[in-house]
Structure 1
Amino acid sequence: MEPDIFKVLSIILLTMLKFIAGPTLGFAGGFSLLNTILITITGMMCSVFLFTFLGDFLREKVFARFFKKKRRFTKRSRQFVTIWKKYGIVGVAALTPLIFTPIGGTILLSSMGTPKKTIIFVMLLSAIFWACFFSSIIHFFGMKILPEFMQ
């Protein structure tokens, strides 16, 4: 039982950094489709909670200490603003697993002044949808393709 706990925790930690790690590592770890979906959602939402509620503290205390203030409008920040204006809260949440990391999407929503409850709600909906989508595809194709490679 202990190795499964370590597998789950490591997949959750990696999913906090990159969403696609959940479905791929869940399948590779031999977890069922439902467990893979739950692990993936948990990983993304841990990241969302962490950066939603500790984002101000991290920005003011930790990042300010290690990073000097740079230009305000970089090419990357302009891209974020363009995405925000074009797609809004729901669009950013929907694009988070595809383009941004869970951390990046949460920071973008927080920095644009989105209420914390709204961030958590839309990111949860996004995590549920994309976890089901990616996990199903990976499990389906993995079960079809994997036996061919084993021969």
Structure 2
Amino acid sequence: MSDYLITFLGIYFLCLFKFIAGPLLGIAAGYGLWEIVVVTVSGMMTSVLFFTFLGEWFKKNWSGFTKKEKKKFTRRTRGIIKVWQKFGVFGIAFLTPVILTPIGGTVVLTSFGIKKRKIILSMLISGLFWSIIMGISIEKLLEIPLFKNLWT
């Protein structure tokens, strides 16, 4: 396998769990903006699709593995509920790449009983938006002489 494909698959795999890995590692690998967008969004959307379609099963069966009762209203869950009440599906999807993980955002939306199609569409729009914004921002940030000298 070529180095390019191995690098692409490595970044893709990390994007399954952490969105920011795509733009950061894409820039480090010398990818252009559209390569960064493709690898980041494809990794995120793989997680979204997986957990959207298997989310109900995980929700039902995961409770059997956990013995300890967890607090239902933590600081984090209260924050998620506030975002949900103010902005709905698109608010959660918008915050997923920067605050939550692709898995976390999908699980939250699945637990609220949102239709699969709406979850996938909102996460796709959010992923495209944030991957473009982060890719451009990191490129511009590295044009600043201080950071350019540190990078090379």
Specify if TM > 0.5: yes
Provide the residue aligned with 1:96 in structure 2. Answer: 96
Q: 2:72 — aligned with what?
A: 73
SS in 2 for 1:54: helix
> Per-residue deviation at 1:72?
5.9
- Give the letter for the 1:149 counterpart: L
Structure 1, unaligned stretches of length 5 or more?
A: none
> How many residues are aligned here?
150
Rounded Cα–Cα distance in structure 1 between residues aligned with 2:90 and 2:63: 29
Secondary structure, counterpart of 1:70 in structure 2: coil
Identity in percent: 39
5 Å-filtered alignment, 1:27-106, equals: 27-61=27-61, 63-68=62-67, 70-71=69-70, 73-75=72-74, 76-106=76-106
Structure 1 ranges of 4+ moved more than 4 A: 143-147
Gaps of 5+ in 2: none
One-letter amino acid matched to 2:84: W
CA-CA distance at 1:116 after TM superposition: 0.2
Please state which structure has a larger fraction of its residues in helix. Answer: 1
* Mapping 1:99-114, distance limit 5 Å: 99-114=99-114
User: Counterpart amino acid of 1:137?
Assistant: S
Q: RMSD of the TM alignment (CA)?
A: 2.0
The residue that corresponds to 1:138 in the other structure is 138
SS of the residue 1:14 aligns to: helix
